[in-house]
Amino acid sequence: MLTQDGVLEIILRALHNLNDEMSDSEKFDVTPTTKLFGTDATLDSLALVSVIVDVEGDVSTALGRSISLTDDRAMSQKVSPFDDVQTLLAYIMVLVAEG
């Protein structure tokens, strides 16, 4: 069973992996509240896509079934799942709970 802590770990690992690919001047702080999307976010759009793809893949692998973070449902949420780490975590936990 994938727990909330487990999902958080996957998200933070994806952010750390992204950080590893960046130059020193581009690196950002990885925390459970890191802003992902929006005017004050530190990730550009391609970087965010990379994180989403990595998280989607790793959560799917851990669950043993595919989840989608890029379908119409995700895109039409009242609160964007991609605002920050916490909104992404909350949205993934909804998908996990659906079984």
Partner 1 sequence: MSASGYEGKVVLVTGSRRGVGKAIAEHFLAGGATVLGFARGAASIEHGAYHHFEVDVGVPESVVKGFAEIKKVTDSIQIVVNNAAVLTSQYSMIMPPAAAQAMLNVNLMGPFMVSREAAKMMRKTKWGRIINIGSMAASLEPIGDSMYAACKAGLSTLANVMAKEFASMNVTCNTLGINAIDSDMLSQLPRDKIDAIIASLPVPRFSQPDDILNVIDFFASERSSSITAQTVFLGGVN
Q: Is 53 or 75 the residue whose CB approaches partner 1 more closely?
A: 53
Residues that bind partner 1 in the complex, under the rule CB under 8 A: 21, 46, 49-50, 53-54, 57, 66
Backbone angles phi, psi at 84, to 5 degrees: -155, 180
Is 8 exposed, middle or buried (CB count within 10 Å of its CB: 0-12, 13-18, 19+)?
middle
For partner 1, give the closer residue by CB, 57 or 90. 57
| Least spacing, CB of residue 79 vs partner 1, in Å | 26
Residue 23 vs residues 40, 51, 58: alpha-carbon distances, Å: 19, 17, 25
Nearer of residues 53 and 94 to partner 1, judged by Cβ: 53
Q: How far is the CB of 53 from partner 1 (least distance, A)?
A: 5
